[in-house]
Amino acid sequence: MAIVVEVDNGSGFCFGVTNAIQKAEELLTRGESLYCLGEIVHNSEEVNRLESKGLKTVDYSNMSSLKGKQLLVRAHGEPPETYQLASESGVNIVDATCPIVTKLQQRVASAYSEMQLVGGQVVIFGKKSHPEVVGLIGNANGAAIIIEKVEEVAMLDCSKPTVLFSQTTMDGEDYVALGEAIKQTMDTLIPNGSSQLKVVNSVCGSVSNRKPKLAEFSSRHDMVVFVAGKKSSNGKVLYQVCKDANPNTIFMESAAEIEESMFEGINSVGVCGATSTPLWLMELVAEKIRAI
C-alpha cells in the first residue's frame, strides 16, 4: 500500500525571506548582476537554486571589489558599518532587511542610547554568530551583551538597569524563562531590583505562531520529515516542536537523504519545515517518499 504523504501548508518561507528572494529573482530575471552579502537564506538547496540563476554570494572581504555593483542585504539585516562600507566602496545596496528586523534594530539603538544615560546595559538573547545578532550588536555600538542560554545569566551584572531583547527566531518559551531568571537575580541583589528590567517582546510571530499548528500536524502522522538547513535557527526550534509531538520525527536537508528503509511499516508521513525552507523543496521530498 502506498504511503500517504501530507505537506504542511503552514510551513515554508516567512514574509521576510519571501521578500528577499522575490527582490533577488526580479533583478536576476532582468539579467542584472546581483551579489548577496552572505547566504540569502539558511537553506543550501535554495541558495544553490538562486546561484544557478546568477546570484553570487560574497562576504565583507569582497566589498572593495564591488564598486558599481548591486549588493543585496538579506532579511537578517546588517549593522550600520556595512552600509558605511558599501557607501565608501561605491556599492549599490538592495536592502531586503525584514521590516520586523529593521524595527528591532531601531529599538535596540534607542535602548542603547537610553542605557548610556543611566549606566545600564542592553542584553540580547541569541546566537553570537547569527547575522541578525551581528546587526543588532552594531546598532548598540558593539556594546550589547549576548546571552545564548538561561544558564549564562550569572555572567550579567544584574545590579544595572537592563533592556532585554531576543533574536527574532529564538524560542519564545526560553526567552520568557531568561527574563524570569534575570528578574529573580535582580530581586535577590536589590529589593524590587527587577523594576530596572525592561523585557521587549521581540520573538517573531512567524516562528512562535507556527508551534501549536506544527505540533498538531506532527501528531497526526506515523512519521514526520522535517526539512531545513542545518544553519537555520528557527529550524532547530521548530524541529524540536515536531519531535516533542511525534518522537518518530527525522531532520533532513534534501530529498537526496531519503532511503526506502526509513519508511518500513509507515502508513502516513507529514512533511514540514522551517521559515527558511522553500515549499518546492518540501514538495520534492514528499514526491520522493510517495515514489517508494
26-55 pLDDT, tens digit per residue, is 999 999 999 999 999 999 999 999 999 999
Is there a binding annotation on residue 76?
yes
Same topology, domains 4-12+209-290 and 15-97? Answer is no
* pLDDT interval class at 1 (50, 70, 90): low
Beta bridge partners of 70: 92
- Residue written as grid cell 550600520: 80
Is there a binding annotation on residue 57?
no
pLDDT score for 123:
99
Q: Would the CA dihedral through 133, 168, 60, 276 be positive or negative? A: positive
Is there a binding annotation on residue 18?
no
Residues near 183 by beta carbon (within 8 Å), at least 6 away in sequence: 194, 197
Which is nearest to 146 in space by CA: 125, 170, 169, 174? 125
The pLDDT mean for the chain works out to 97
Query: What's the CA gap between 244 and 218, in Å, rounded?
Result: 9
Select 4-12+209-290's CATH number: 3.30.70.870, 3.40.50.1220, 3.30.70.100, 3.40.1010.20. 3.40.1010.20
Q: Is the pTM of this model over 0.85?
A: yes
The mean pLDDT of 172-182, rounded to a whole number, is 97
102-156 pLDDT, tens digit per residue, is 999 999 999 999 999 999 999 999 999 999 999 999 999 999 999 999 999 999 9
Is there a binding annotation on residue 233?
yes
Q: Would the CA dihedral through 240, 242, 247, 252 be positive or negative? A: negative
pLDDT score for 214:
97
- Residue written as grid cell 544553490: 48
Is pLDDT of 264 > 80? yes
Which is nearest to 279 in space by CA: 5, 6, 7? 7
Is 266 in a helix, a strand, or coil?
coil
What residue spans define the domains of the chain?
4-12+209-290, 15-97, 100-167+170-203
Is domain 100-167+170-203 in CATH 3.40.1080.10, yes or no? no
Helix, strand, coil percentages, rounded to 5, for the chain:
50, 15, 35
Give percent of the chain above pLDDT 70. 100
Is there a binding annotation on residue 168?
yes
Is there a binding annotation on residue 130?
yes
Is 54 in a helix, a strand, or coil?
coil
Is there a binding annotation on residue 98?
yes
* Catalytic site positions: 132
Between strands 35-37 and 56-58, the pairing is parallel
pLDDT score for 77:
98
CATH no. of 15-97: 3.40.50.11270
The mean pLDDT of 235-257, rounded to a whole number, is 97
Which is nearest to 250 in space by CA: 225, 220, 281, 285? 225
The mean pLDDT of 59-76, rounded to a whole number, is 96
pLDDT score for 207:
86
Is residue 109 classed exposed, middle or buried when 0-12, 13-18 and 19+ CB atoms within 10 A define those classes? middle
The mean pLDDT of 60-84, rounded to a whole number, is 97
pLDDT score for 208:
87
Query: What's the CA gap between 78 and 136, in Å, rounded?
Result: 8
Sheet with 162-166: strands ordered across: 145-147, 121-125, 162-166, 197-199
pLDDT score for 173:
93
